[in-house]
Amino acid sequence: MPDRLTEEPVELIVEPAESGWRLDLFLVHHFPDYSRVHLRRVISAGGVLVDGGGGKPSYRLKPGQTVRAVLPEIPRQAPSPEAIPLDVLYEDDWLAVVNKPPAMVVHPARGNWSGTLASALQHRFAGQLSSVGGATRPGIVHRLDRDTSGVILVAKHDLAHSKLAVLFQDRRIEKEYYAIVVGAPERDRDVIEQPIGLHPTQREKMAIRRNDPESKPAETFYEVDERFAGFAAVRALPKTGRTHQIRVHLCHIGHPILCDRQYGGHSRITRGEITGNPEDAEVLLERQALHARRLRFSHPESGETIEVVAPLPDDMAGVLEELRRHRSV
């Protein structure tokens, strides 16, 4: 690691889901390649500002605050436009809703400088994106994990961004996810209420943390859509917006999302594992079977109810087809 800090800071905007996080843990989450000890030293050395002022490692963040961090090898400028095809599901003068494919990072980060959703947005909506999220996140109001597909809301100007952020903060945007899980939940529908915080030893993971003062309340409603022998398809509606919330909650009840490497759902699944033919090694899926299927919200200008649905991607649809054919119950 370089001894000296770079001269140009990178800016991050605190999202509603990160409200109340300690400054040092916020940085650990966004920059997992740096140790917490190192980041605390950077904060103490004045390398991190919150809304233009200094902050202690224990400082509690609020939604909308700007965190400026001076760290080595962090992207400094807006992502370069790239002609990556985008599936635009809805668009008007204020906002757009796009269907993010799996295996695409939302914004640039260490190891993923190109091929991001941000670069695709820069090409598709050149000059029409909000700047509230900072240079590296043009128009981006919220995020999905790299291997989660589905609907992403994009703001076309700063006023739209601010109003949409308030909707997220006030939990007035309904989000529905579709997942394939290992095993079948005993109940057809239920609510999982378990607090979530940073994993105590694995910095890129979250965990159920009942006795951790740093954890945040989290609530997920789920309903079983289809049952199969050894698997189930579920709809999940998070009532809160914690990082990895659905993945952590489903794992907690003993039904991790299929192919979720971080939370115990195998790393991939072959056709033979479904059909029972060990010679059929065709890989059907090798990313978490989680898809952000639907968003429903009031338009920030007109108040009109907007509902956008993203079709299930081919990889998950293919797994469901094989399950229906060979694992029906």
Rg (CA), the chain: 20
Q: Residues 49-87: pLDDT tens digits?
A: 999 888 889 999 999 899 988 876 555 556 889 999 999
Residue listed under structure tokens 């299930």: 312
The pLDDT of residue 78: 66
Q: What is the pLDDT of residue 72?
A: 60
Say what the pLDDT of residue 1 is. Answer: 34
Following DSSP, what letter does each residue of 29-40 receive, concatenated?
Answer: HH-TTS-HHHHH
69 and 55 Cβ atoms separated by less than 8 Å = no
Structural domains of the chain sorted by starting position, each given as residue range(s) with its CATH number in brackets: 10-69 (3.10.290.10), 87-169 (3.30.2350.10), 174-326 (3.30.2350.10)
Q: How far is CA 222 from the centre of its chain?
A: 18
Number of H helices, E strands in the chain: 7, 17
Residues of the chain with pLDDT under 50: 1-7
Q: What is the pLDDT at residue 6?
A: 46
Is the CA virtual torsion 37, 38, 39, 41 positive or negative?
Answer: positive
93 labelled catalytic: no
Quote the pTM value: 0.80
Catalytic residue, candidates 24, 51, 145, 260: 145
Write out the E strands in 101-215: 149-155, 174-182, 189-193, 196-198, 206-208
Give the distance between the most distant pair of CA atoms in the chain.
62
Q: Burial of 327 by CB count in 10 Å (0-12 exposed, 13-18 middle, 19+ buried)?
A: middle
